[in-house]
């Protein structure tokens, strides 16, 4: 056959094949095929509105108001609802079971509680297609807790890109979500899935996150700018998180003194209700380290959460603690150790007013930085040892120990003991965290007799009353009262 004839035959045959393929595609029920694939994946009750499929020159699919109902009709929103879907791919990719890009507008996912189950996967299997990229900016993820009456946990994903989405395989995602309180953007990348149709709360999730420039000033009573990074791994209702935070300017309103606060933490987060269990959190500021364990949980229909912790400080610095709590700086220095239960209930009030503490503490080798206060302590020690004329050339160290309870801004001290050489003081009373007012009552047990605490004619007169104040193994026991403020205390005699 002549070469030109062969060319014309091949061209003609190709043209006829293309015409035949076009006629076939024109008559192919594409919308019905796509709808069938969707229902085989998500169930026969899926609603699809205004479905359109175009096969040439490339494949394009669009639909509106796609609704995937919950498995059980228990009053929850649909499992998945989408305002508008558009997908596109080419024939080469389609033959390899790939959809190049899917765009979802108005995506909302409502994950049911474990007790309610999810959408049951049908026994018949659809043809496996993989979406190379899904763009779903503005998506909303709602996770409903097990406990009836609790509001759902909402995630606003104003940027969301998913890659490699397909049946029975994990998909990669990148998202930026807006955190409401404290305000800031959380950027996260990781893997999600495969989707557990029978129990969505058991869907695997893993990845890393970055939270920058969160303003803590939205919480009454504190301030600072927080950043946090970390990683997570688990399933939706049990996610293990390992992370850290950095707040270079953390401060309480009652003092206004910023400290550089850093933490490292390990936690388990229930992604279905947002409850977080800390084990542990290690916080560091100044020369002090605080180790805390506990939980951040929400009860009933409450929107805010309660923080409940058991905290421990070993060999911390007293000046670090006082810097956070007192307006005046450099009041006292020393080594401090304490244990305390910490509860911060929900409520739109100053943290100092709602903070609750219950614990005990010891302070070793404390010195008052205010000269007039330290002079009073030195003088008390000299008189207690019967040497009132001793020159004030030493700096007497004080030791404290006791129990405390803080509620509604008032610190109550129980069995508060204060020791300096020659004197033991036992006190009970209160200290106002907000107004810094002292009201302590107790006794001072002196090594010396009362007449030995002074000189001259006063000493002579006091010898007559020494027997009334002398106790076994003590030279004198005096009732005392401490008032004033933490920076300017007033010491006086009380009543027995």
Decide if 342 is inside a domain: no
Domain termination residue (choose one: 202, 219, 246)? 202
Domain termination residue (choose one: 202, 232, 256)? 202
Decide if 275 is inside a domain: no
Across 167-181, 226-240, 375-389, 461-475, which has the greatest mean pLDDT?
Answer: 226-240
> Which string of b and e fits 43-77 if b means at least 16 CB within 10 Å?
beebebeebebebeeebebebbebbbbbbeeeebb
Decide if 322 is inside a domain: no
Average model confidence (pLDDT) across the chain: 81
* Dist. CA 372–CA 378, nearest whole Å: 10
What is the 3-class SS of 449-494, one letter each residue? CHHHHCCHHHHHHHCCCHHHHCECCECEEEEEEEEEECCCEEEEEC
DSSP assignment of 335-354: EEEEEEEEEE--SSS-HHHH
**Dihedrals phi, psi of 448, to nearest 5 degrees:** -90, 160
Residue whose structure tokens are 């498995």: 71
Work out the percent of the chain whose per-residue pLDDT is above 90: 28
* Dist. CA 188–CA 176, nearest whole Å: 6
Q: Are strands 153-165 and 398-407 parallel, antiparallel or unpaired?
A: unpaired
Q: Give the pLDDT band of residue 43 (cuts 50, 70, 90).
A: low
Decide if 404 is inside a domain: yes
Work out the percent of the chain whose per-residue pLDDT is above 70: 84
Domain termination residue (choose one: 202, 219, 245)? 202
Q: Are 287 and 321 in contact (CB under 8 A)?
A: no
pLDDT at 138 over 80: yes
**Dihedrals phi, psi of 99, to nearest 5 degrees:** -110, 120
Residue 298: per-residue pLDDT: 78
Decide if 263 is inside a domain: no
* Dist. CA 276–CA 425, nearest whole Å: 43
pLDDT at 131 over 60: yes
Residue 240: per-residue pLDDT: 94
Q: Are 176 and 185 in contact (CB under 8 A)?
A: yes
Q: Give the pLDDT band of residue 19 (cuts 50, 70, 90).
A: very low
Decide if 324 is inside a domain: no
Cβ-based neighbour number of residue 466 at 10 Å: 14
> Which string of b and e fits 360-394 if b means at least 16 CB within 10 Å?
ebebeebbbebeebbeebbebbbbbbbebeeeeee
Which tokens is 461 given? 């007169």
Based on the structure, what is the number of domains in the chain? Answer: 2
Decide if 95 is inside a domain: yes
- Residue with the larger pLDDT of the pair 98 and 241: 241
Name the residue range of residue 418's domain: 371-493
């Amino acid at each position: 056959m002549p070469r030109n004839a062969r060319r014309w035959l091949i061209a003609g045959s190709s043209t006829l094949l293309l015409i035949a393929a076009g006629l076939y595609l024109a008559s192919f029920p594409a919308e019905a095929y796509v709808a069938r694939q969707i229902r085989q994946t998500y169930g026969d009750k899926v609603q699809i509105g205004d479905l359109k499929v175009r096969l040439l020159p490339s494949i394009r699919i669009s639909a509106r108001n796609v609704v995937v109902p919950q498995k059980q009709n228990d009053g929850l929103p649909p499992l998945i609802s989408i305002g508008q879907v558009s997908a596109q791919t080419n024939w080469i990719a389609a033959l390899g079971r790939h959809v190049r890009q899917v765009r979802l507008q108005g995506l909302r996912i409502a994950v049911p509680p474990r007790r309610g189950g999810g959408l049951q996967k049908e026994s018949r299997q659809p043809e496996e297609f993989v979406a190379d990229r899904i763009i779903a900016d503005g998506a909303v993820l709602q996770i409903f807790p097990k406990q009836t009456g609790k509001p759902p946990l909402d995630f606003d994903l104003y940027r969301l890109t998913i890659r490699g989405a397909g049946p029975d395989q994990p998909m990669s995602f990148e998202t930026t979500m807006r955190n409401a309180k404290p305000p800031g953007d959380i950027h996260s990348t990781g893997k999600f899935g495969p989707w557990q149709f029978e129990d969505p709360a058991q869907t695997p999730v893993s990845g890393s996150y970055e939270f920058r420039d969160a303003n803590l000033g939205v919480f009454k009573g504190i301030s600072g700018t927080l950043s946090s990074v970390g990683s997570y791994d688990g399933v939706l209702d049990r996610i293990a998180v390992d992370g850290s935070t950095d707040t270079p300017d953390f401060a309480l309103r009652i003092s206004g003194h910023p400290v550089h606060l850093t933490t490292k933490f390990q936690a388990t987060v229930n992604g279905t209700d947002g409850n977080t269990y800390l084990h542990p959190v290690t916080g560091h500021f100044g020369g002090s380290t605080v180790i805390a364990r506990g939980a951040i949980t929400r009860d009933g229909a409450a929107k805010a959460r309660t923080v409940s912790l058991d905290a421990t400080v070993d060999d911390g610095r007293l000046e670090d603690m006082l810097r956070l709590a007192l307006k005046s700086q450099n009041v006292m220095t020393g080594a401090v150790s304490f244990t305390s239960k910490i509860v911060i209930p929900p409520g739109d009030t100053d943290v100092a007013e709602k903070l609750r503490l219950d614990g005990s503490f010891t302070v070793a080798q404390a010195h008052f930085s205010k000269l007039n206060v330290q002079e009073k302590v030195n003088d008390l020690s000299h008189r207690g040892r019967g040497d009132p004329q001793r020159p004030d050339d030493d700096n007497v160290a004080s030791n404290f120990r006791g129990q405390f309870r803080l509620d509604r801004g008032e610190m109550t001290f129980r069995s508060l003991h204060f020791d300096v050489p020659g004197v033991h003081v036992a006190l009970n009373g209160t200290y106002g965290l907000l107004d810094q007012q002292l009201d302590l009552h107790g006794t001072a047990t002196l090594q010396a007799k009362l007449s030995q605490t002074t000189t001259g004619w006063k000493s002579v007169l006091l010898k007559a009353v020494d027997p009334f104040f002398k106790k076994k193994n003590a030279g004198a026991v005096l009732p005392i009262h401490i008032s004033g403020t933490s920076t300017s205390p007033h010491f006086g005699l009380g009543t027995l």
